[in-house]
Structure formats: structure tokens, C-alpha cells
Chain A
Amino acid sequence: QKEVEQNSGPLSVPEGAIASLNCTYSDRGSQSFFWYRQYSGKSPELIMSIYSNGDKEDGRFTAQLNKASQYVSLLIRDSQPSDSATYLCAVNAGRNTPLVFGKGTRLSVIA
């Protein structure tokens, strides 16, 4: 069974700080990694995808991938109260197979 693990939180950070969200996965052959944000009562929306080792930046968000250690992280700079949500990590489980989602980390940004 392919597994994707996330700390459920809540992770509380003050406004303006950096929020660091982590995700580990069990399948060493995974190639595709996604971060989704889900507000309470709403559906998930894509924040970033990453496929290669290293960092990928998009505005205040940076995804970091380390395949050797089998973890992917999401950094949110200058955190805002509007960033308060649950962040879901998703990883592919094999070639042309559906994504496996973690249970999500709940982030709370305190004004």
C-alpha cells in the first residue's frame, strides 16, 4: 500500500512568518508531487506541482523535493490569515496510476 504521510497539525504561525509543511512518501519510484489547499467546506485547489529534485518557487510559495530522502515540503513566506486552510500533499503511486493523497496538515495563521 502506497503511503503519503503528513503531520495533521494544527500548525500555528504568526502573520508574516514562514510556514513549513512537510510530507513523506513510501514509494521510491514516485515521480509527480502536488500540493493542494483546501478551505473548510470547500474543494481542494492546486497550489503547485513539482517533478524534479530541488526547489520550485511561485510567488510566496516554494515547493522543495528530495527524492533520496522521500520527502516534499511546501514553504509559505509572509504567511497571511487567508492562508489558514488544510494543505494536502499528493504523490503518484506508479506509472499511470491515480494520485495518493495524504490526510493533510491544518495551518492556522494568527493575526
Chain B
Amino acid sequence: DGGITQSPKYLFRKEGQNVTLSCEQNLNHDAMYWYRQDPGQGLRLIYYSQIVNDFQKGDIAEGYSVSREKKESFPLTVTSAQKNPTAFYLCASSMRDLGRDTQYFGPGTRLTVL
């Protein structure tokens, strides 16, 4: 089956810890994205990448880092510098044109800071 997988589904972090969220896609999409969603809020863009080894900051990149070593993978690290990381994290992918091509979403990772 083609699609986007995210793991883990739920993640608990102690304050001061870095955690990495996984995102993999087998849709042969060039572009990948990370969003954060807080209760009752829309999607806020953290980082995006159009090609391997290149990525751009979104609107709320502070406290997060990403890598794009493979076309299929776009992991997100939530660092200890992110002061309020509890949220629902969504990974998405699309073909090459960021604004025209449909974005498809993974099932999400719910991160809770203890």
C-alpha cells in the first residue's frame, strides 16, 4: 500500500529531552512537510523540504530540527529548546510543486511532555 507512515503514534517526553519523530513515505513524492496542531487550532508549518539534502524553515521552526537524507524519509527532532512541545504533529508529502500539488497527510504523532 502506498502512503505515509509516522511513528510512534504516541510519545511522551520528559522536560529537557530531545525526541525524534519518524515520517516515511512510499508515494515517490519530492516534497515533505512537518506541521504542528494544537487543540482548536489550525496547522502551523514547522519545516518543509523539496529535495534531498535541502529543507526550509516554516513559520515556527524554533526548537525543531529536521534532516532529509533520503527521498522517502523526513524525521523531525523536537529539541529541549522547544518550550511548549505538547501537540499533535503531522507529516505530509506532495509532488514537486509546493503550492499546486495536493498534500497528503500521515496519521500523526501525539507528543506529550511530562
Contact = CB atoms under 8 A, between A and B. Distances in A.
A104 B38 CA distance: 12
Given A101-B43, A102-B42, A104-B42, A46 B104 contact: yes
Contact of A43 (B42, B98, B107): B107
Contacts of B99: 31-32, 92-99
B106 interface: yes
B103 interface: yes
Contacts of B40: 8, 103
Interface string B74-114: 00000000000000001000000111101111111000000
Contacts of A43: 90, 105-108
B27 to A, nearest CB: 13
Interface in A56-111: 88, 90, 92-99, 101-104
The 8 closest A-B pairs by CB, nearest first: A92-B99, A103-B42, A43-B105, A101-B43, A101-B42, A43-B108, A32-B100, A98-B98
A49 interface: yes
B17 interface: no
Contacts of A92: 98-100
23 contacts: A31-B99, A31-B100, A32-B99, A32-B100, A42-B108, A43-B107, A44-B43, A44-B105, A49-B102, A88-B42, A88-B43, A90-B103, A92-B99, A92-B100, A94-B99, A95-B99, A96-B99, A98-B99, A99-B98, A99-B99, A99-B103, A102-B42, A104-B42
